[in-house]
């Protein structure tokens, strides 16, 4: 039952490396490993590449931003999901439980409804996610209870439902020929339109939030104990919870703003990581980050190659996530490990 | 050093559980807290731990107000042994014991070599070193209670507070846990534990505190307080007293 860290970490790194290679080489315009290596080494060393210009374009401009975005979004959602599962002492929790995704969705459909540009839509989505979670947190702390965790989760569910109604209203009012398809596409999640310009607004929040969660990972074990126990062990649970929620919301909102709504990654990947290295959070967080990046790279490659048209990411992750989850429930008696 | 509560009003925001309670625990002694369900045992225990704030009165440790002591320093002074339960995640026994070192590092620190050494020593002390790499979810209830004791001592506290440490243990493990409680006091810790069994108090405690409906019925040396009359008054139920003339030990039977 006890799994050692190093082999698990190597497997996670392997998945990530394989995901990167597959994402760069597979597609309508196949790139060989040699060409890929040549373009990347040329780029890093600054000498001109010997590969054809078309290959260079595909690797650096077409697939490059998309690969980096998949890597960041996958890692971000996995780390946020892992941290939330510890914080809420429940392995069935995903990073959008406090309404980050519903808030971002409302922000994005509002942006589309008011015909804003890409940057405007993404900014509104990001702000929507942050505001939704802040509202949930403030309402949740306002409602005095002996079980702050339960109140927080229920507040998240309620506020999420309200935001969902808001999304429904905007979709109902939207122009059915131009705006509605854009909204539907955004809500299903995709990295197809990712450009280099999208990467910086994604990288900043994701890096900041992930670093905070990595720094706090030694105390996440204690936080996953019942409230009284964690406090008796010397952890100030209130401020700690705020820090984890803020960091996880930052990465989730930034991810969702870039990619649209991609469910399941933050739920499934932490379980895969636990299967590799066990439940100890100091090991789990870095493993989940690597595995999440690799996982979304595979999914995104599938999304753009499996069918003549792009398959929305949210649909693929659900198709893969649902059977996985049922299998997980079937094994529930064996305890969460 | 003593852990004491003066004139405490205890309870939750919507409900007062007990008023005018005085309690004191010295280092090197064991105090047992007895009383019927819902009588305020757990509330008093959590107030003395600093998990609940008293609505009136003050908890002090070494003469200092507990409310003015940081949560980290508090964890280095008082350790809590909750009722053994199955946690959400299957941490290894060693990881669980290492959590006892939380208050000895800062928010971002990984366990130091010294922390690991302390944890290993505690596992050794309670005879569970061979369980170190087993998942905490897959060991027996008695072993789990010992792991929680090891975690509490890894905090290197002056006082140890245990919530029904013998509940849900088999007969043999009950005896083992009571011996460990005696040993803690022998090593200079002040120990407070709650129990439903007066015999456990007779076995392991120096003093007993009888709490009913938030009121102190009696407090004093176990020999003086654990009498048939007081226990009948405490539980509002008939109690039979047995005495072994050979050893002079007494025991109580309900009903």
Residue B120 belongs to a domain:
no
Q: What is the pLDDT of residue B246?
A: 92
What would the two tokens of residue A75 be?
């890692």
Residue B94 belongs to a domain:
no
Q: In the 8-state DSSP scheme, what is residue B8?
A: E
Distances (CA, A) of A53 to A47, A50, A57, A66, A305: 14, 9, 6, 19, 22
Residue B114 belongs to a domain:
no
Residue A204 has pLDDT above 60, yes or no: yes
**pLDDT, tens digit, 9 for 90 and up, residues A91-114:** 888 888 899 999 999 999 999 999
- CB half-sphere exposure, B193, CA atoms < 13 A: 31
User: The domain containing residue B38 runs over which residues?
Assistant: 2-86+158-254
Q: What is the pLDDT of residue B86?
A: 80
Q: Which of A125, A96, A148 is nearest to A254 (CA)?
A: A125
Residue A335 has pLDDT above 60, yes or no: no
Interchain pair B133, A2: CB under 8 A: yes
Q: What is the pLDDT of residue A1?
A: 38
**pLDDT, tens digit, 9 for 90 and up, residues A107-148:** 999 999 999 988 899 899 999 999 999 999 999 888 877 777
Kindly state whether B92 is in contact with chain A, defined as any CB-CB distance less than 8 angstroms: yes
Local confidence band at B234 (pLDDT 50, 70, 90 cut-offs): very high
**Could you give the CA distance from residue A143 to residue A134 in angstroms, rounded to a whole number?**
14
Partners of residue A275 in chain B, C-beta under 8 Å: none
Residue A191 has pLDDT above 70, yes or no: yes
Residue B63 belongs to a domain:
yes
Residue B150 belongs to a domain:
no
Residue A87 has pLDDT above 60, yes or no: yes
State mean pLDDT over B13-35.
Answer: 94
Local confidence band at A3 (pLDDT 50, 70, 90 cut-offs): low
Residue B51 belongs to a domain:
yes
Residue A337 has pLDDT above 50, yes or no: no
Kindly state whether A204 is in contact with chain B, defined as any CB-CB distance less than 8 angstroms: no
Q: What is the pLDDT of residue A334?
A: 53
Q: Work out the mean pLDDT of chain A and round it to a whole number.
A: 91
Local confidence band at A43 (pLDDT 50, 70, 90 cut-offs): confident
Interchain pair A215, B108: CB under 8 A: yes
The number of distinct structural domains making up chain B is 1
Residue B225 sits in a domain of what CATH number? 3.40.50.300
Q: Please, what CATH class does the domain formed by A5-334 belong to? A: mainly alpha
The ipTM is 0.93
**Could you give the CA distance from residue B233 to residue B239 in angstroms, rounded to a whole number?**
10
CA–centroid distance for A142 within its chain: 29
Residue B92 belongs to a domain:
no
Kindly state whether B20 is in contact with chain A, defined as any CB-CB distance less than 8 angstroms: no
Q: In the 8-state DSSP scheme, what is residue B161?
A: E
Residue B73 belongs to a domain:
yes
- Residue B143 parent element (H or E): helix B141-154
Nearest to A234 among B71, B108, B134 (CB): B71
**pLDDT, tens digit, 9 for 90 and up, residues B134-192:** 999 999 988 999 999 999 999 999 999 999 999 888 999 899 999 999 999 999 999 99
Interchain pair B134, A1: CB under 8 A: yes
Kindly state whether B137 is in contact with chain A, defined as any CB-CB distance less than 8 angstroms: yes
- Tell the residue number behind the tokens 């935001």, with chain if given: A163
**pLDDT, tens digit, 9 for 90 and up, residues B183-232:** 999 999 999 999 999 999 999 999 999 999 999 999 999 999 999 999 99
Residue A2 has pLDDT above 60, yes or no: no
Local confidence band at A49 (pLDDT 50, 70, 90 cut-offs): confident
Q: Work out the mean pLDDT of chain B and round it to a whole number.
A: 94
**Could you give the CA distance from residue A17 to residue A8 in angstroms, rounded to a whole number?**
14
What is the DSSP secondary-structure string of B74-139? HHHHEEEEPPP---SS--BHHHHHHGGGGGGS-TTPPPPHHHHHHHHHHHHHTT-GGGTTSBGGGS
**pLDDT, tens digit, 9 for 90 and up, residues A220-259:** 999 999 999 999 999 999 999 999 999 999 999 999 989 9
Q: What residues of chain B, 155 to 174, have a C-beta less than 8 Å from chain A?
A: 155
CA end-to-end distance (rounded Å), chain B: 40
State mean pLDDT over B40-49.
Answer: 94
């Amino acid at each position: 039952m006890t799994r050692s860290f190093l082999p698990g970490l190597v497997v996670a790194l392997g998945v990530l490396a394989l995901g990167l290679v597959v994402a760069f080489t597979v597609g309508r315009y196949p790139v060989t490993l040699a060409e890929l290596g040549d373009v990347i080494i040329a780029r890093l060393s600054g000498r001109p590449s010997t590969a054809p210009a078309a290959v260079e374009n595909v690797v650096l401009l077409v697939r490059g931003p998309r690969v980096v975005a998949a890597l960041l979004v996958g890692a971000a959602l996995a780390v946020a999901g892992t941290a939330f599962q510890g914080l809420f002492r429940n392995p069935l929790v995903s990073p959008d439980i406090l309404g980050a995704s519903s808030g971002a969705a409302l922000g994005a459909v509002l942006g589309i409804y008011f015909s804003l540009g890409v940057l405007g839509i993404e900014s509104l989505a990001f702000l929507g996610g942050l505001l939704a979670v802040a509202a949930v947190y403030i309402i949740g702390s306002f409602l005095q209870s002996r079980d702050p965790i339960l109140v927080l989760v229920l507040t998240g569910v309620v506020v999420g439902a309200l935001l969902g109604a808001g999304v429904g209203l905007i979709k109902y009012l939207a122009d059915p020929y131009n705006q509605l398809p854009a909204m539907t596409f955004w809500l299903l999640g995709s990295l197809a339109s990712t450009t280099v310009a999208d990467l910086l607004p994604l990288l900043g929040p994701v890096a900041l939030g992930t670093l905070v969660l990595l720094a706090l990972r030694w105390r996440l074990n204690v936080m996953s104990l019942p409230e009284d126990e964690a406090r008796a062990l010397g952890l100030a649970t209130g401020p700690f919870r705020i820090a984890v929620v803020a960091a996880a919301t930052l990465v989730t909102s930034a991810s969702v703003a870039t990619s649209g709504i991609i469910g399941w990654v933050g739920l499934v990947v932490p379980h895969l990581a636990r299967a590799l290295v066990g439940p100890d959070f100091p090991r789990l967080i870095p493993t989940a980050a690597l595995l999440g990046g690799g996982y979304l790279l595979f999914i995104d490659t599938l999304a753009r190659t499996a069918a003549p048209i792009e398959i929305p990411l949210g649909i693929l992750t659900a198709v893969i996530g649902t059977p996985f989850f049922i299998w997980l429930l079937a094994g529930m008696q064996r305890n969460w490990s | 050093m003593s852990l004491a509560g003066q004139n405490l009003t205890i309870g939750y925001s919507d409900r007062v559980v007990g008023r005018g309670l005085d309690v004191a625990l010295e280092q090197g002694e064991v105090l047992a807290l007895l009383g019927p369900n819902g009588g305020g045992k757990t509330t008093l225990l959590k107030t003395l731990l600093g998990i609940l704030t008293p609505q009136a009165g003050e908890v002090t440790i070494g003469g200092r107000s507990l409310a003015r002591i940081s949560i980290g320093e508090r964890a280095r002074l008082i350790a809590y042994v909750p009722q053994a339960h199955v946690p959400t995640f299957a941490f290894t026994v060693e990881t669980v014991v290492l959590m006892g070192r939380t208050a000895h590092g800062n928010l971002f620190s990984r366990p130091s070599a010294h922390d690991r050494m302390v944890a290993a020593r505690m596992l050794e002390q309670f005879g569970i070193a061979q369980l170190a790499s087993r998942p905490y979810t897959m060991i027996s209830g008695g072993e789990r209670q010992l792991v929680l004791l090891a975690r509490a001592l890894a905090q290197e506290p002056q006082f140890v507070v245990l919530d029904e440490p013998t509940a849900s243990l088999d007969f043999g493990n009950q005896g083992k846990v009571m011996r460990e409680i005696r040993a803690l006091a022998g090593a200079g810790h002040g120990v407070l534990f709650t129990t439903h069994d007066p015999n456990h108090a007779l076995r392991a405690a120096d003093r007993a505190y009888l709490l009913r409906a938030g009121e102190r019925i009696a407090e004093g040396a176990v020999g003086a307080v654990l009498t048939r009359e007081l226990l009948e008054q405490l539980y509002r139920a008939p109690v039979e007293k047995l005495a072994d003339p050979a050893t002079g030990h007494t025991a109580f039977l309900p009903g």
